[in-house]
Amino acid sequence: MSSKNLLVELFVEELPPKALKKLGEAFSNTLFESLKAQGLASADAVVTAYASPRRLAAHITGVAGQAADKSVSQKLMPVSVGLTADGQASQALLKKLGAIGLDASVVRQLKRAQDGKAEALFYDSMVTGTTMVDGLQKALEDALARLPIPKVMTYQLADGWSTVNFVRPAHALIALHGAEVVPVSVLGLTAGRTTQGHRFEAAGGTITIKDADSYEAQMEGEGAVIPSFNKRRDEIAHQLAETAAKVGGGVQPIEDAALLDEVTALVERPNVLLCQFEEEYLQVPQECLILTMKANQKYFPLLDTQGRLTNKFLIVSNIRPADPSLVIGGNERVVRPRLADAKFFFDQDRKRPLASRVEALDRVVYHNKLGSQGARVRRLMKLAGTIARELGADEGLATRAAELAKADLSTDMVGEFPELQGTMGKYYALHDGEDAQVAEAIEAHYKPKFAGDTLPEGNIALAVALAERLDTLVGIFGIGAIPTGDKDPFALRRAALGVLRMLMERYLPLDLKQLLGQAQAQFDKEQIAASTAVDVFQFMQYRLRVYLKERGAMQDEVESVVVQAPTRIDRVPARLAAVAEFRKLPEAAALAAANKRIRNILKKAEVVGGTVDVALLQAGAEADLHQSLVAVTPGVETALASLDYTGALTRLAGLRAAVDRFFDEVMVMADEPLIRANRLALLQVLSRTMNSVADISELTV
């Protein structure tokens, strides 16, 4: 069989929409990788993935009918075991040959070759290449076994006895090598060339695929299905923009990549239609209306040029009737009750001041070991007030914002839409006449919600947001619920990253250790472990390493800064920048190596303290190093005081010549105890000064 293009399609019942994109990519990629590993597909073959609500498919170019034969060298055993002293085959060798279908006649054909420190026996043979049928069978089984299936279904086949486990019941399998059917079988199905098109709009019932290359055109023409996920997604995006343009006024559909992916996974032949609802519903906060339209109905709300919600929205239909009025009317009727519910909840919630709901939080459990939400709010009030005071912000406003931060959890709107917690608190606080900074902090204290999310604005919001995450970290760590592996049920890694980002990106002049100690002080001593603040600090140092490397910093530069356990996170970027500049200096390599040497000497000597006695310094390299150190120290200290870390390291680079000469001419571990102790003290002062910005011994220069 010659090299031809391959088409494989698995026709199934409706696949889970949120998983469809990954399922399609995994199916095609694994199929290709398996064929490539078996020598049936070349590394430069073009793979096209298809995924629609009812099918997973892949088109792969240039797949061979049979893989080329290949030479295989099989290691048998060490020569010392396989051959006797006179060169004859041992019983162990004969037994091994028998196990692989060979006999003593091949002993003379065996090769001797070095294998590590010993010589071994090898058997060379030519293995026949895998056929298309066998190779595709294996590739299909691999692809199905490795699909990222969110939840497996178990169903019976037509015989009533056999059961199959798969994401959804499968009904047909296509496997075409060019125009020829490849007789493979999976999930109780035998491959053919027929499939089904659109449920309602296909030209006929069964579609017979002519060959691998005609699949996409036949599905679009006869089947009324756009099988390519990406092509279907692009078509939806195009229709959304085109329909919005017809509305005029600069309105645009809301941008939501996840929603676009999900809708793409729900339709086979998209048709975007314009709908609307009554303007009276626009009195409800737009976040509520947008959420219910997106989450419940998969609609695309239209926003004006100011980002405000209009009373028009777009739907993506799976059918294209000549008269779409029934489809439009039906969707408008469906959304109206949901908008009415949102308006009812909003009106009802505003009948009670937000502050009146705080008391109810004492009856809401936060954690059975940490008490109620009410107790937590009281901790947040104290901690947020303290942080605000340290930032020079209004302590009273921060305390009030923390007091009301969780009050909307007992509202009807948040009960229906938990995603709106904080957002509804802001609206209700403004309705009650609370200070605008308090209202903004209620919403913003949940930020950042995910990696890359925006940070709170203003010191009041930052104080409450920091308090919320610090309380979570200390409380949950304190009861022993520490993240392990990929398990992090309380999202402590995300909380730690949020604290680090706020301190660093907002340049907050706060000490992390002090913050953790203040957070721990809000808990009763018997509630959490005494070492909690220290444990959380260590955890956050690790998260800091991860975060800085994700921002693009080099690993050794990150380590040089973080190994010193910095507590002023706002100064870390400047320290990193200074280290990056320092390593460009010609003196960097020698000083980094010297620092490693000094660290090892001090570690072995177990030096704890001590001062340099100038009278004990010997003339020459030893005294010169001390004088150079004394001369450079004031400039370094001045630079450090003004946070000029680059300047400090540049001044320290001037010590290179004195340091090099010292190690060339001076024996640190002298026989005389006083001389030795004095030299160790000198090295300790040198190390402390040179590493005042970062531990440059960590640099690989």
pLDDT at 106: 85
Between 572 and 600, residue with greater pLDDT: 572
Asked if 50 and 24 count as a contact pair (C-beta separation under 8 A), the reply is: yes
Task: Flag whether pLDDT at 381 surpasses 60.
Answer: yes
- How many CB atoms within 10 Å of residue 565? 13
Q: Is the pLDDT of residue 101 over 90?
A: no
* pLDDT value at 610 more than 80: no
Give 148: exposed, middle or buried? Use CB within 10 Å, 0-12, 13-18, 19+: exposed
DSSP category for residue 66: B
Name the nearest CA neighbour of 622 among 670, 688, 566, 558. 670
Contact yes or no for 5/209 (Cβ under 8 A): no
Are 668 and 622 in contact by the 8 Å Cβ rule? The answer is no
Residues 300-329: pLDDT tens digits?
999 999 999 999 999 999 999 999 999 999
**So what's the pLDDT on residue 444?**
96
By C-alpha distance, which of 424, 417, 469 is closest to 442?
424
- Weakest-pLDDT range from 197-201, 536-540, 665-669: 665-669
3-class DSSP state of 538: helix
Cα of 71 vs its chain's centroid, Å: 43
Whether the per-residue pLDDT at 609 is higher than 80: the answer is no
C-alpha distances (whole Å) from 242 to each of 208, 253, 284 are 34, 10, 28
Compute the distance between CA of residue 481 and CA of residue 188 in angstroms, rounded to an integer.
46
Q: Which amino acid, one-letter code, is at 26? A: A
| Residue 159: per-residue pLDDT | 79
Inform me whether the pLDDT recorded for 608 exceeds 80. no
User: Which residue shows structure tokens 């090892």?
Assistant: 600
DSSP per residue, 168-189: S-EEEEEEEETTEEP--EETTE
Distance CA 291, CA 363 (A): 28
pLDDT tens-digit readout, 175-195 = 999 999 999 999 999 999 999
pLDDT tops 60 at residue 115: yes
Distances (CA, A) of 640 to 537, 559, 573, 632, 691: 24, 20, 14, 12, 12
Over residues 84-99, mean pLDDT: 88
Share of the chain above pLDDT 90, in %: 68
How far is it, in rounded angstroms, from Cα 623 to Cα 553? 38
Is 613:678 a contact under the CB 8 Å cutoff?
yes
Rounded Cα gap, residues 530 and 520, in angstroms = 9
Question: Taking residues 623-647, what's their average pLDDT?
Answer: 90
Who has greater pLDDT, 387 or 99?
387
Is there a contact between 430 and 401 (Cβ–Cβ < 8 Å)? no
Confidence of residue 273 (pLDDT cuts 50, 70, 90): very high
Mean pLDDT for 628-656 is 90
Q: Which two tokens stand for residue 359?
A: 């008391």
- DSSP for 1-53, written as a single string: ---EEEEEEEEESPPPGGGHHHHHHHHHHHHHHHHHHTTSB-TT--EEEEEET
The letter for the amino acid at 140 is L
Confidence bin at 105 (pLDDT 50/70/90)? confident
Across 212-241, average pLDDT: 96
The tokens for 534 are 């220290």
What is the pLDDT averaged over residues 278-304?
95
Gap between the Cα atoms of 383 and 471, Å rounded: 9
At residue 607 the predicted structure's pLDDT band, cuts being 50, 70 and 90, is: low
**Who's near 161: CB < 8 A, 6+ residues apart?**
none
152 by Cβ neighbours in 10 Å (0-12 / 13-18 / 19+) ranks as: exposed
Cα-Cα-Cα-Cα dihedral sign, residues 83, 89, 91, 94: positive
pLDDT digits (tens, 9 = 90+) for 358-374: 999 999 999 999 999 99
Whether the predicted pLDDT of 1 surpasses 70: no
In this prediction the pTM is 0.80
Q: Are 346 and 425 in contact (CB under 8 A)?
A: no
State the chain's mean pLDDT as an integer: 92
